[in-house]
Amino acid sequence: MNRLTLGRMAVLAAALGFSTAHAASIVTSTGATINASTMGANDTIDAFIVTYRDGTAERSNANAVEQNIGVAVTRAKLDAASQKATPSNAVSVQWKRKLGIGADVVHTSRKLSRNEAVALMQQIAADPAVAHVEPDVRMHIVKDIAASTVKPDAVGTSTPNDPYFSYQWHMRPGTGTVETIGTDTTGYANYGGSNASAAWLNYDGTGVVVAEIDTGVTQHPDLNLALANAGYDFITAAATSGRATDGRVPGGWDTGDWTTAAMNCGIANSSWHGTHVFGTIAAVTNNGVGVTGVAPGSQVMPLRALGHCGGATSDIADAITWASGGGGAQHAGEPQSRAGDQHEPWRSWHLRGDGCFR
């Protein structure tokens, strides 16, 4: 791919359709913050994101992380000694990896209830070395409103010749013009149009690359997929990615986010949501196919962070970090920079073949 400057890696749209609650973090007596707002009342959690303060042993030592969080498990009364009556409920901790932002991901040996997770986070945050802790929850796409069957409609010469552009009222000026669209029998005033079509005479996003963090992208005749292979699949767990083994792979392709009853996700079958959002951003315009995008001249870099049963906060965070040109050491002891690396200048860090930052 062509080398692109960071300035060209502008984000045109916040295309993350994630649904989660938002609330202020709790500040503990040690000055650490706990964010439990992303957990629902009935959620179960088996992973946590812990940020240690600069200069602490845990910041660069995975064994120290495991040891200290093991102590927190004991204080939270989740250890084997405290769970004698039900030994299967005893919790152990395993360090998994370090995020691009420097935080650590740890997994518990079983899923914890919300109350157990909060109790454990309170004990983790009691360690003066800890700056922040939160559950590594799963984010999910927001379901789109099912569209009714559409029929091609003629368009004027002053508008793109894409057959479904006439249905894209949201691209036109929000002047209150009454429009009858598709099978409508009553006209409605368009007060919600973005007026994007007025900008296309002079600005269409040419030269801009948009990082889209979603379910990835599929083959589609109305999309410019030139950067699809240059994207990345950030999903770590095989159960979420659908691959045979854990780990990340190059390419931003959507291989499906279908679910089964056995997965116990409560989420609908494959949504191909990333392809939908890709088209909203940059569907090819005036090509006589489909619809038009908000910035049809731009290119989209698809990053897959959502798969079966959604996507982990930690994977999403790494995707955001990578897309924005940031990064950090993946494993303890790795250098914070690599002089002489020959990689795209718009992304100051990139991923090794094993999916780790460098």
Residues 1, 43 within the same domain: no
Burial class (CB in 10 A: 0-12, 13-18, 19+), 66: middle
Q: What is the DSSP string of 109-140?
A: EEEEPHHHHHHHHHHHHTSTTEEEEEE-PEE-
| Nearest CA among 171, 108, 118, 133 for reference residue 53 | 133
Based on the domain organization, do 253 and 357 belong to the same domain?
Answer: yes
Is 32 a residue whose pLDDT tops 60? yes
Q: What is the pLDDT of residue 261?
A: 83
Residue 262: predicted pLDDT: 85
Please tell me the distance from the alpha carbon of residue 170 to that of residue 179, in angstroms, as a whole number.
Answer: 11
* Residue at which a domain ends, from 77, 112, 136: 136
Q: Which CATH number characterizes residue 6's domain?
A: 3.40.50.200
What's the CATH number where 66 sits?
3.30.70
Average pLDDT, integer, range 304-310 = 94
Which of 136, 155, 173 is the C-terminal boundary of a domain?
136
- 266 and 237 in a single domain? The answer is yes
Of the residues 136, 163, 186, which one is the last residue of a structural domain?
136
Q: Which residue has the tokens 């939908």?
A: 276
The two beta strands, 130-135 and 33-34, are parallel
- CA 198/CA 173 separation, integer angstroms: 7
What one-character DSSP code corresponds to residue 51?
Answer: E
The SS3 call for residue 209 is: strand
Strand stretches in the chain, DSSP E: 26-27, 33-34, 45-52, 93-98, 104-112, 130-135, 138-139, 177-179, 188-190, 209-214, 232-233, 249-250, 299-304, 311-312
Residues 189 and 265 in one domain: yes
**107 CB neighbour count, 10 Å cutoff:** 17
Give CA–CA dist 239/86, Å, rounded.
Answer: 28
Name, in order, each residue with C-beta under 8 angstroms of 318's C-beta and a sequence gap of 6 or more: 99, 100, 234, 357
- Per the CB < 8 A criterion, the answer to whether 168 and 292 are in contact is yes
Which of the pair, 156 or 24, is modelled with greater confidence?
Answer: 24
- Note whether 307 and 161 are same-domain residues: yes
Per-residue model confidence as pLDDT tens digits over 269-292: 678 999 999 999 999 988 999 999
3-state secondary structure of 184: coil
Say whether both 76 and 148 belong to one domain: no
49 and 172 both lie in a single domain? no
Pull the structure tokens for residue 275: 């392809």
Cβ neighbors of 41 (< 8 A, separation 6 or more) are 114
Whether 154 shows a pLDDT value over 80: the answer reads: no
Local confidence band at 267 (pLDDT 50, 70, 90 cut-offs): low
Distance of CA 290 to the CA centre of its chain: 27
Whether 218 and 332 map to the same domain: the answer is yes
Q: Per residue in 325-337, pLDDT tens?
A: 875 434 333 223 2
pLDDT digits (tens, 9 = 90+) for 113-140: 999 999 999 999 999 999 999 999 988 7
Tell me how many domains the chain contains: 2
> How many percent of the chain have pLDDT more than 90?
62
Same domain, 291 and 187: yes
What range does the domain containing 241 cover?
Answer: 1-18+138-358
- Torsion angles phi and psi, residue 356, rounded to 5: -95, 150
Using the 8-state DSSP alphabet, how is residue 331 labeled?
S
Sheet holding 130-135, edge to edge: 26-27, 33-34, 130-135, 45-52, 104-112, 93-98
Q: In terms of domains, do 316 and 327 share one? A: yes
pLDDT for residue 142: 66
Residues 98, 160, single domain; the answer is: no
Residues 129 and 146 in one domain: no
Report the C-alpha gap between 301 and 281 in whole angstroms.
Answer: 11
pLDDT average, residue stretch 291-298:
91
State the burial class of residue 83 (Cβ atoms within 10 Å of its Cβ: 0-12, 13-18, 19+): middle
